[in-house]
Amino acid sequence: MSAESPYLIAVHDIMHKAGAMREYKLEITVPENLGDSIINVPAGNDIDLDLRVESVHEGILATGEVFADADGECSRCLDPLTLPVEVDFQELFAYSLTNEDEFVVNDEQIDLEQVIRDAVVLSLPFKPVCRKNCLGLCPDCGLKIAEDPHHVHEAPVDSRWTALQSFTQKEE
């Protein structure tokens, strides 16, 4: 990650000083979408981050809470929606890499991008809905069922009976 990343936090003043702690209230402009095409925190939007970084013997412990708004569309009726995101995280950034899945302190900084991305994306609903009882769209005509819950369509004729339709047409 480049030095211009908004997710980088300098920790040089608390490194190797067990018990030292700093608290931050940050507003980060998201450089790229956090989420998928159905629902995400769009690039250019801000997330609020309450962060506490603590020096421990093994490294830097980052504990935080992320607040944001995710934009998307209802998976049932396709109306646009905005959902509040509030998610916690806690991650240890080790002084030395001992395991491939650990995060590490680099150049006296910690990079919170992957931690925040994982926390936010995993908190987003797989199938977002505008409200719990959203009725969705009619599978035949695409009308929003909530607009006309009692609309009906002619029952389709079973294709096995189409040959018999010709007899009724001849009689008329």
Residue 100: what pLDDT? 67
Find out whether 109 and 10 touch, Cβ atoms under 8 Å: yes
Cα separations (Å) of 147 from 108, 138, 139, 172? 58, 11, 14, 39
Tell me the C-alpha distance between 147 and 160, whole Å: 34
Closest CA to 117 of 46, 48, 32: 32
128 or 3, which is more confident: 128
Tell me the C-alpha distance between 58 and 132, whole Å: 45
What mean pLDDT value characterizes the chain?
88
Residue 164: what pLDDT? 75
Residue 142: what pLDDT? 81
What digits encode the pLDDT tens for the residues 50-64?
A: 999 999 998 999 999
Confidence of residue 172 (pLDDT cuts 50, 70, 90): low
What digits encode the pLDDT tens for the residues 45-103?
A: 999 999 999 999 989 999 999 999 999 999 999 999 999 999 999 999 998 877 666 88
Say how many CA atoms lie within 13 Å of 147 toward its Cβ. Answer: 9
Find out whether 66 and 120 touch, Cβ atoms under 8 Å: yes
Residue 154: what pLDDT? 78
Residue 168: what pLDDT? 66
Residue 171: what pLDDT? 58
What digits encode the pLDDT tens for the residues 107-126?
A: 899 999 999 999 999 999 99
Residue 169: what pLDDT? 61
What digits encode the pLDDT tens for the residues 4-30?
A: 789 999 999 999 898 899 999 999 999
Residue 3: what pLDDT? 46
Q: Quick one: tokens of 151?
A: 């609309």
What digits encode the pLDDT tens for the residues 125-157?
A: 999 999 999 989 888 888 888 888 888 887 777
